[in-house]
Chains A and B, each alone.
Chain A
Amino acid sequence: MLDPFVESILIFSGINVVLALSLYLPVSAGLLSLGQGGFMAIGAYTSGYMTSVMEWPFALALACGGLAAGIVGLLVGIPSLRIKGVYLIIMTLGFGEITRVFFLNFEPTGAASGMGGIPVHTTLPIVVVAVVLSLLLCFQIRGSRYGRALEAVREDELAAEVIGINLLRVKVSIFGLGAFLAGIGGGLYAHYATFIDPGQFAFQRSAEIFIMVVLGGMGNFTGAALGALVVTILPEVLRIGGMQEWRMTFFGVLLVIIMIVRPWGLIGVRR
């Protein structure tokens, strides 16, 4: 049997890969988001409520959590047609905060005291399946007709639009798809943690997902996946040795060094 500590790290790594890919998808069309934690919260709360209170099967609850996040993602994606760059980042950041405050006050899911008693369903094999499917999704999109349109929108919106690409459809759909994946990641998280509260999906979670993608490389989904692994595993590796209290400082320094040496990310094309 696998050491429980190692297993937990692997499960968190897998969940984080799904979350990093959830941000990579909109980023591949030039849409940066600091609100993935909000979509994750929607997926976590929705699926957690369905399994613990309504006693739905896990797979169905997980899918519903993803869909709920995805539908909200479609709505949040609509303003992305006009709001660009840093302003979009601020808008998504605001969305993440709104979501957090919503669950902080929403009594049916425990409000500020959080929601406990969620059954454990997220096992390593399930996480592996989720990771493989997410990677497959990104792989299939890249190089397809839809994937080329995403890339074109990222490269030059105006040029894409004048050759007949409907910006609204492309942007909103990829934003919603990313939110769906974040919701799945949130559902997996909830059914491993068994207890969730709004603070777990706050700005810091969104920022962490953002760091994974930037660190790994925004131009390639394998980069985002690798970034997730580094951000999850590196702090645990630094735990080994007698420097417990300094490990996050070391982690920060390593991130700075990586970004200086490879500003385009661990895997990615120099642009």
Chain B
Amino acid sequence: MRATEPSILRTESLSKRFGGYSAVTELDLAVRKGTIHAVIGPNGAGKTTLFNLVTGVLAPTTGRILVGGVEVAGSRPDRIARLGVVRTFQGVRLFPSMTALENVQVGRFCRTRGGLLAALARIPGRDSATEKSTLQRAEELLAMVGLEARRHSFAGELPLADQRRLEIARALATDPQLLLLDEPVAGMNPVEVLQAGELFKSLRDAGIAILLTEHHMSLVMAISDHVTVMNYGRKIAEGTPDEVRRDPQVLTAYLGSEAAT
């Protein structure tokens, strides 16, 4: 592997077993800074389990997970988020009865301070400096994903594509270094997929590494710098999109004859 740049995320022989079933087996993965790294594989290949392990939702059975060199295997999700690793979910998980703006503002929580005493010291109508910057940053992020017009809509009432965009904006509000996107364009129409691809590339160009899983192959091949292919919890191939596309094991295991054309 061409580890010329230091990696933001590294897993070493990472395994997760559920009883007798091994969802992820001996996985070594390295996500370099400022790249888009795709993890592909058939359903049940262990992609979502990998995401759950990296973000602390599940604790690994064995193996190491390093975020910027810090061991995080078994850490709580909020600690991992503060280290700069934040995710979105395959089935969108917003705060449905909060507005779009509030959803993004909550994302600033881990980068701001002020508990109960700060709340009590609030002067209605005059936001503190922290609150002002939270609001400003949230509005910038909403504009960035194209939702500024819907800022006061309840998140649960937005169309699916907008909900996915909002979830990304909320994740970005935490100032991540690595963004994990779990099937971010599922259920989007072709135009929305293109827009999403442009957004991901602009995030990478802004210095945020992205690890994504996706079944939408043309998007994966178009935007990814690096692709890891998983099957039955194991890594079966790795490389640039072109290398992976030509790998015979990948063709048989996953892509089928269609990708050969």
Binding site for B on A (CB under 8 A): 137, 140-141, 143-149, 151-152, 155-156, 158-167, 173, 177, 219, 269, 271
**A164 nearest CB neighbor, chain B only:** B110
Partner of A145, one of B82, B119, B171, B174: B119
Would A155 and B96 be within 8 Å (CB), given that A145-B109, A160-B106, A163-B107 are in contact?
Answer: yes
Q: How many A-B residue pairs have CB under 8 A?
A: 106
Interface set, chain B 112-131, CB cutoff 8 A to A: 112, 114-116, 118-120, 122, 130-131
Partner of A165, one of B102, B109, B114, B134: B109
26 contacts across the A-B interface (CB closer than 8 A)? A137-B120, A140-B119, A140-B122, A141-B116, A144-B119, A144-B122, A145-B115, A145-B130, A145-B131, A148-B102, A152-B98, A155-B98, A159-B94, A161-B77, A162-B78, A162-B86, A163-B170, A164-B107, A164-B110, A164-B111, A164-B174, A166-B78, A167-B78, A173-B115, A219-B97, A269-B97
Residue pair A155, B120 in contact (C-beta under 8 Å): no
Chain B residues with CB under 8 A of A145: 108-109, 112, 114-115, 118-119, 130-131, 134
Would A163 and B89 be within 8 Å (CB), given that A144-B122, A146-B115 are in contact?
Answer: no
**B155 nearest CB neighbor, chain A only:** A155
Residue pair A165, B116 in contact (C-beta under 8 Å): no
Interface set, chain B 79-110, CB cutoff 8 A to A: 80-82, 86-87, 89, 93-98, 102, 105-110
- Alpha-carbon gap, A137 to B131, bound state (A): 18
Partner of A163, one of B81, B116, B119, B131: B81
Residue pair B87, A162 in contact (C-beta under 8 Å): yes
Residue pair B114, A144 in contact (C-beta under 8 Å): yes
Given contacts A145-B115, A165-B106, 17 further A-B contacts (CB under 8 A): A141-B119, A143-B122, A145-B119, A148-B105, A151-B98, A155-B96, A155-B98, A158-B77, A160-B106, A161-B77, A161-B81, A162-B77, A163-B106, A164-B174, A165-B109, A165-B110, A167-B78
Chain B residues with CB under 8 A of A166: 76, 78
**B113 nearest CB neighbor, chain A only:** A145
